[in-house]
Amino acid sequence: MSIYLEIPQLNKEFPFQILVNEGDILTTPHWHREMELIYVSKGTINLGINDQPFTISEGEIVFINGGDLHYVLASPGSKRIVYQFDLNLFLNLTEDDLDLKNIFNKIPPLGKNWNGNQEKVSLLLKEIYNENENHPRGYMLKIKANLFEMILIFIRDITLEKVDRHQLRRRVRSEEILVKLDQIFKFVEQKYTERITLEEVSAAMGYSQFYFTKFFKKNTGKTFMTFLNDYRIDKAKWLLVKTSLSVSEIISEVGFESDKTFYRLFKLSMGMAPLDYRKRMQPNMEDI
């Protein structure tokens, strides 16, 4: 199985989301910069974190730090709730001497090793799930409150693991990779409407074209041009749904130089033509 980078589509103002996966959903080896908690609500799941296998049963939690390589094997009859959040959600509201990155690096992955605090965190996660599902008035405030309470438990009540030198080197390297990829993603976000070449982006990152190509493919599972085109297709989908721009205008807006390439990649990605996608997402909208 190939290793790939996952980029969760989180709200910039509130970088948090919940996913519910049934047991027959296999999650291939991947990583992302966001933190992740998996709560097993039914059955048992088998997963791996940085090549270490774990078995998690109903009512248990596993914590996956940003940058950790992980996967979940198919576990029939099980169900898991996945909570993902960005560390930036907390960085601006802590004391100067509180190093959250260092704390997250040392949190034991298994909830049963949290000094008897797994049940407390479970209750918080269940409340977050219910708030997210039902959207009562003030639900976002409640979710934020529970997240902050959970982080406080991690800070005050859980004995942090010692990190051996090998693990520390891996995490430092992981952080370096995340920083560099973040620079690349920001470059794409700023420049995707323009013509971007491998030579240009490689130079902007301070890499040779050969090294950049190898680095990006190794750490994301796809070539840079594939990533760039996927990004542009995602932008085009948003414009198709949220605006009345014609397809030709959208093609120009998102940086494609060839209409033929756009139509081919869009159909490959979505299984339908752009206007068919617009009609499906906006069934009451007249043809444009």
What does the pLDDT read at residue 238?
A: 86
Residues in the chain, how many?
A: 288
What does the pLDDT read at residue 232?
A: 92
CA atoms within 13 A on the CB side of 271: 1
Which segments in the chain show pLDDT lower than 50?
Answer: 1-2, 285-288
Q: Which of 192, 286, 181 is nearest to 234 (CA)?
A: 192
Architecture label for domain 4-157: Sandwich (2.60)
**Alpha carbon separation from 137 to 142, 183, 274 (Å, rounded):** 9, 38, 37
What does the pLDDT read at residue 96?
A: 60
What does the pLDDT read at residue 2?
A: 46
What does the pLDDT read at residue 68?
A: 85
- Letter for the amino acid at 1? M
The Cα–Cα gap between 271 and 190 comes to 28
CATH number given to 227-281:
1.10.10.60
Per DSSP bridges, beta strands 4-5 and 27-31 are parallel
The Cα–Cα gap between 257 and 272 comes to 20
Domain spans in the chain, listed from the N-terminal domain onward: 4-157, 165-221, 227-281
What does the pLDDT read at residue 246?
A: 95
The Cα–Cα gap between 20 and 97 comes to 36
DSSP the chain: ---EE------SSS-EEEEEEETT--EEEEE-SSEEEEEEEESEEEEEETTEEEEEETT-EEEE-TT--EEE---TT-EEEEEEE-THHHHTTS-TT--HHHHHHTS-SBGGGSTT-HHHHHHHHHHHHHHHHH--TTHHHHHHHHHHHHHHHHHHHSPPPPPPHHHHHHHHHHHHHHHHHHHHHHHHHHHTTS---HHHHHHHHT--HHHHHHHHHHHHSS-HHHHHHHHHHHHHHHHHHH----HHHHHHHTT-S-HHHHHHHHHHHHSS-HHHHHHHHSTTPPP-
